[in-house]
Chains A and B, each alone.
Chain A
Amino acid sequence: MHVRLKSLIAALAVCASSAAFAAEPIKIGLSGPFTGGSSPMGVSMRDGVKLAAAEINQKGGVLGRQIQLIERDDEAKNERGVQVAQELINRERVVATVGFINTGVALAAQRFYENARIPVMNAVATGSEITAQFLPPRYPDNYIFRTSANDQIQSAMIEEEAVDKRHFTKVAIFADSTNYGQLGREDLEKALAKKGMKPVAEEKFNIGDVDMTAQLLRAKGAGAQAVLTYGIGPELAHIANDMAKLGWRVPMIGSWTLSMSNFIDNAGKNGEGARMPQTFIQEGNTPKRKQFIAAYQKAYHVERIPSPVSAAQGYDAMYLLAAAIRQAGGTDGVKVREALENLKQPVAGVIAVYRRPYTHDNHEAIGKDEVVMGEVKGGRVIYAYPADAKRAK
């Protein structure tokens, strides 16, 4: 027994030392809500990131080292996001982190990365404040990068769709009472104000509300021709369903969350025709996209990606990060940030081919050109304007 124990320890020691000889993996944090109401987005993002990391590893990794993802569930809670950030930075010693669905969580957790000089690839959260939290000159360098379409871009597109393209003169805003909804409402108001317009009704609702009759009657009474939304899936579905109940059908145009599976499924035919800005639509109109969609479907056994936008943004964020580490020639946070701000090689993502996506002062990879208008049709999101689908080619 004693001899066997000793030999076991010896064997373990050999294993450990041989592992040390092989190149150590590059640890990347992955933080998002994998449980709770926003999990369709969190899980899709996670799976997109994992898909990209697996592809990179299969081709030999980065700088001869494998990428190792450290996944943590932030439960969409600010305080939990802070704990996750501290754990990833201090215990796991990650090189960078990809993540964040919820604007509030991102704003609470990013501070720790900024202080530790560890880059963050913000893949899904859209609050305008996110990349502006640590702007120079107040802070020497900003370590927060983004691969999603921020609320300013989205609200401008919503306004353009409602006012310029469809010539509505009276619109109502429906926003939930969270940070996300209320910050989005402010951006929408600003976008409308640029056209000299004021919403005829501004209605609020809570997460978990099951009846939108009063809000809709107010909007109807004010003569709204369209409802502009900033909320998440289940409540958006209640808006669509109660609209049908009241026999008041006006178009719904809103932030990208109108593409969430829990809106489309719960609203059913009442959600048809809803339009929203999208960075990615599940349609294989380029070879790269076709390959990405097929790989996702095969790896996770789904036909429809729960949140295609989140999956694509997570996937692209991982590729951009890998390119930066490769260019930096190491995993030092400062060097990786500098490389991200000055990417020399173009990076082929599924949303776009990124040519110098970031500079020292611009940390938004997605501009207005990368965003298209999506529309719910037949239970999935398609291009609202077929020209956009062709342009992508």
Chain B
Amino acid sequence: MDVLSQLLGSGVAVGMIYAVIAFGYQLTFATSRTLNFGQGEALMLGALVGLSLVGHMNYWLMLPIVMLFGAVQGAVVERVAVRPAIKSKSEFGWIMATIALGIIFKNVAENIWGHDQLPFPSPVSQTPFTVLGVHMVPMQVMVIGGALLMMLAVELFNRRSIYGKAFVATASDLDAAGLMGINTNLVITFSYALSSMTAAFAGVLVAPITLAGAEMGAVLGLKAFAVAIIGGLNSGVGVIVGGLILGIAETTTAYYISTGYKDVPGLVLLLLVLAVKPAGLFGKTVIKKV
């Protein structure tokens, strides 16, 4: 019993890391039907910029600066890689362009911060504690809490503020929103900024656990993508559930079957979802009228 609760606890902690990154994929997909395949790199840049800053200032002061940096970086991605593709109605241009930008960001990071994985200071104590037989470090609780808080904040913003309503309107019907006088281009740029901002925040949040380095985005970005597909690209609850499913599937498979097959059930689930319900477990099936 102890073992199972520990596995579930660790699975939840890992799953929330995936969920918080997957959340970023959703934001841009909602408004522009495009994804930033450099999401993992946005996360990595956030973590490394945070690491450079945290040596000079208070941890809590560093957070808003990193988020601002993330927002600017996201806007740049949209302007450089995504807008030209949307303009020329290219179906796939943005895929290559965001991947290319991601690689450039990684190379830049390697040149600035080197190739090593660096320890990231934890803002909270690193002494492990036990709840209901589950051993955890305080940072894991902070990741879970921070991720939920961030998603809640974005949801509230969308529902309550006028800007958020423009965001939702663009998400539900781009052309109609444009006819209503919403500057949809600006909204799409904004969604990229918001998406990279959440990724940068996630980077700082998870780095004390995962270590910070130019390579950190690759694996995490890919797993988060699987989570976004499993959960559904237009469902906020979906990413959380998807993240938890993948996280718990990894830890329990590793324990009960074999550590060599740890990643298999998550990917099998991904294939199953794509075959049975392509919109994702919680996604709404949208009929594209041609």
Contacts and interface: CB of A to CB of B under 8 A. Distances in A.
Interface in B136-194: 136-137
Contact of A40 (B7, B116, B209, B259): B116
A266 interface: yes
A205 interface: yes
A245 B211 contact: no
A211 B14 contact: yes
A233 B117 contact: yes
B3 interface: yes
Interface string B1-43: 0010011001001100100000000000000000000000000
A35 B110 CA distance: 8
Nearest to B117: A234
Nearest to B111: A35
A261 B253 CA distance: 32
A142 B170 CA distance: 68
A214 B14 contact: no
Interface stretch (A117-125, A215-223, A367-375): A215-223
A206 B260 CA distance: 9
A237 B10 CA distance: 17
B211 A237 contact: yes
Given A204-B260, A234-B211, A266-B211, A217 B7 contact: yes
Contact of B7 (A36, A37, A214): A214
Nearest to B120: A266
Interface string A276-318: 0000000000000000000000000000000000000000000
B263 A206 contact: yes
B255 A203 contact: no
Contacts of B128: 244-247
A152 interface: no
Interface residues of B, number: 38
Interface in A323-358: none
A208 interface: yes
Query: Which of B14, B115, B119, B260 has its CB near the most chain A CB atoms (within 10 A)?
Result: B115
Nearest to B260: A204
B7 A218 contact: no
B212 to A, nearest CB: 10
Interface string B87-131: 000000000000000000000001000111111000000001010
Contacts of B277: none
A247 B255 contact: no
B259 A205 contact: yes
B219 A214 contact: no
A208 B218 contact: yes
Nearest to B116: A262
Query: Which of A35, A217, A244, A245 has its CB near the most chain B CB atoms (within 10 A)?
Result: A245
A210 B115 contact: no
Given A244-B128, A247-B128, A265-B119, A37 B215 contact: yes
A218 B255 contact: yes
Contacts of A268: 119
A245 B135 CA distance: 6
A36 B255 contact: no
Contacts of A262: 116-117
B6 A217 contact: yes
A215 B136 contact: no
A177 interface: yes
Given A37-B115, A245-B128, A214 B110 contact: no
A215 B209 contact: no
A245 B136 contact: yes
A39 interface: yes
Given A221-B3, A234-B211, A246-B135, A214 B255 contact: yes
Contact of B10 (A177, A213, A244): A213
A39 B215 CA distance: 13
Nearest to A43: B115
Contacts of B83: none
Contacts of B116: 37, 39-40, 261-262
B273 interface: no
Contacts of B119: 265-266, 268
A246 to B, nearest CB: 5
B251 interface: yes
B201 to A, nearest CB: 18
A217 B255 contact: yes
B215 A208 contact: yes
Nearest to B114: A39
Interface in A261-277: 261-262, 265-266, 268
Interface string B242-261: 00000000111111001110
B259 A214 contact: yes
A214 B14 CA distance: 12
Contacts of A36: 115, 215
B7 A213 contact: yes
Contacts of B259: 203-205, 214-215, 218
A268 to B, nearest CB: 7
Contacts of A206: 219, 262-263
B132 to A, nearest CB: 15
Interface in B213-228: 213, 215, 218-220
A217 to B, nearest CB: 6
Nearest to A202: B259
Nearest to A248: B135
27 contacts: A35-B110, A36-B215, A37-B215, A204-B260, A211-B10, A211-B13, A211-B250, A213-B10, A213-B251, A214-B250, A214-B251, A214-B254, A215-B259, A217-B7, A218-B254, A221-B3, A234-B117, A237-B211, A245-B128, A245-B135, A245-B136, A246-B128, A247-B135, A261-B116, A262-B116, A266-B117, A266-B118
Interface of B: 3, 6-7, 10, 13-14, 17, 110, 114-119, 128, 130, 135-137, 209-211, 213, 215, 218-220, 250-255, 258-260, 262-263
The 4 closest A-B pairs by CB, nearest first: A214-B254, A208-B219, A213-B10, A214-B255
Given A217-B6, A217-B7, 17 more contacts: A37-B115, A204-B259, A206-B262, A210-B211, A218-B259, A233-B117, A234-B211, A234-B213, A245-B135, A246-B135, A247-B128, A247-B130, A262-B116, A262-B117, A265-B119, A266-B117, A266-B118
